[in-house]
Amino acid sequence: MAQLAIELRNVSKKRRNKTIGPLNLGLPKGHIIALVGQNGSGKSTLLQMLLQLTHPEEGEILWFDKAHSEGIPIEVRQTMAYVPENSLTEENHWSAEEAAAFRSLWYPQWDQPYFQELMHTFEVPRNIKLGKMSKGERRKFEIAATLAAKPQLLLLDEPSSGLDPFAWKAMIEALRKYMDQHDATILISTHIVDEVRRLADYIVLMHKGQLLGMADKDSLFGAWSEVWVNVADQEELAELATELPGTLNHTMDGKGVASFVTGQFEQIEKRLHHMGVKVVKSRVLELDEILGLWTQGYRPILVDDKKGD
Ligand SMILES: Nc1ncnc2c1ncn2[C@@H]1O[C@H](COP(=O)(O)OP(=O)(O)OP(=O)(O)O)[C@@H](O)[C@H]1O
C-alpha cells in the first residue's frame, strides 16, 4: 500500500449551520493531489484542519502516520508549508526580504538562493512592503517563500488566484520542478481546470461538505465521452437509449443527429456497430463536465475501488 502523508478518519467539523464531513481520505506520499469542489464545499476548512488552525469535533487526522492530538510538534510543522487563501496580515509591514529572513529562522531547510531564484523568476517587486503589493505580487511571494522552505508537505489554497498567465505558468513549472527534485506531497485546492490537468496525479472532489472520493487523474479524464450518431427520429433515439444502458443526456438536433454521454465508450461503440448505427463523432468530456456528473452521482472509478482488485 502507498505510504500516506495525511490520513483523515471520520473527521467532522461543524461550520455555522452545516457540517463538513465525516471525511475519510488518505493522501499518498510523493504526489500532487488536487482538491476541487464548488464554493463553500469545505476545501479551505479541510486545509485548515490539516494545519490545526481549526480543529474537528470528531475523528482523527494522521500526519505521516502519527496523530498529534496535543498539537503538531515543531519538527513536523517545519516540514509543512501553507499558502493560505488570504495572506496573513501579520507580515504586511515587512518587505519580501524581511519576511523571508524571518521564515528562514523557522524553517531549518530554508534555501535562500532558491528563494532569490524564485523571486526573480516570478518577478516579485523587492522594495515594497508585502501589505502594499498587488494581490498577484503577494501571491507570487507566498509561493516562492513556501517552496524555499523546502517542505515535505505543501498545502496550497487556491495559489493561482490573482496570478496573470505568465506568473501562472511559472508557478506550474516551479511546482513540477520541485516535485521532480524532492520527495514531497502537495495538496492544492483549485478551481482552475488547466491547473488540475497540468499538475495533479489525483483528484479529490468535495461536494456540500462531503468527500466524494479520490480518482486517478488519467483515468478520470478519459472516463466519459459524448457520442454523436445518425438516427431517423426521436422514436429511434428512444429505442437506442433503451438498447444502450448507462447512456445519459440523450438529445437530438433537427438533422437526424443524436448525441448522448457514456462512461463506456468502447463497448458502446462496438454495440452501435453491430446495430448498424453510424457514429458521426465523439469527444472526451472536459473535467468540469465530469465533475458535474460525479456530483450528480455518476461516480468514476476511485482509487479506493482499485485497492480491492
Ligand atoms: N470561520 C468560519 N466560521 C463558520 N463557518 C465558516 C467559517 N469558514 C467557513 N465557513 C463555512 O463553511 C463552509 C465551507 O467553507 P470553506 O471556506 O471551507 O469552503 P471552500 O470549499 O474553501 O469554498 P471556496 O471555494 O469558496 O473557497 C461554508 O459554508 C462557509 O460559509
Q: What phi and psi values does residue 152 have, to the nearest 5 degrees?
A: -90, -25
- Packing angle, helices 135-148 and 112-122, rounded to 10: 150
Q: Evaluate the CA torsion angle 46, 84, 293, 302 in order and state its sign.
A: negative
**Measuring from each residue's beta carbon to the nearest atom of ligand 1, which residues come in under 6 Å?**
15-16, 18, 37, 39-45, 85
In angstroms, rounded to a whole number, what is the distance separating the alpha carbons of residues 171 and 167? Answer: 6
Per-residue pLDDT tens for 77-90? 999 999 999 998 99
Nearest CA to ligand 1 atom 2: 15
Distance (angstroms) between ligand 1 centre and the Cα of 15 equals 7
ipTM score assigned to the predicted complex: 0.96
The kind and range of the H/E element at 176 are helix 165-181
> Can you tell me whether residue 153 is helix, strand or coil?
strand
Distance (angstroms) between ligand 1 centre and the Cα of 282 equals 38
CA–centroid distance for 281 within its chain: 30
Q: Tell me the whole-structure pTM to 2 decimals.
A: 0.94
Q: How confident is the model at residue 301 (pLDDT cuts 50, 70, 90)?
A: confident
Ligand 1 atom with least separation from CA of 42: 18
Go through the domains of the chain in sequence order and give each one's CATH number. Answer: 4-220 (3.40.50.300), 225-284 (3.30.70.980)
Distance (angstroms) between ligand 1 centre and the Cα of 18 equals 10
Question: At residue 132, does pLDDT exceed 70?
Answer: yes
Per-residue pLDDT tens for 222-261? 899 999 999 988 898 999 999 998 899 999 987 889 999 9
Pocket test for ligand 1, best of 13, 15, 57 (most atoms within 8 A of CB): 15
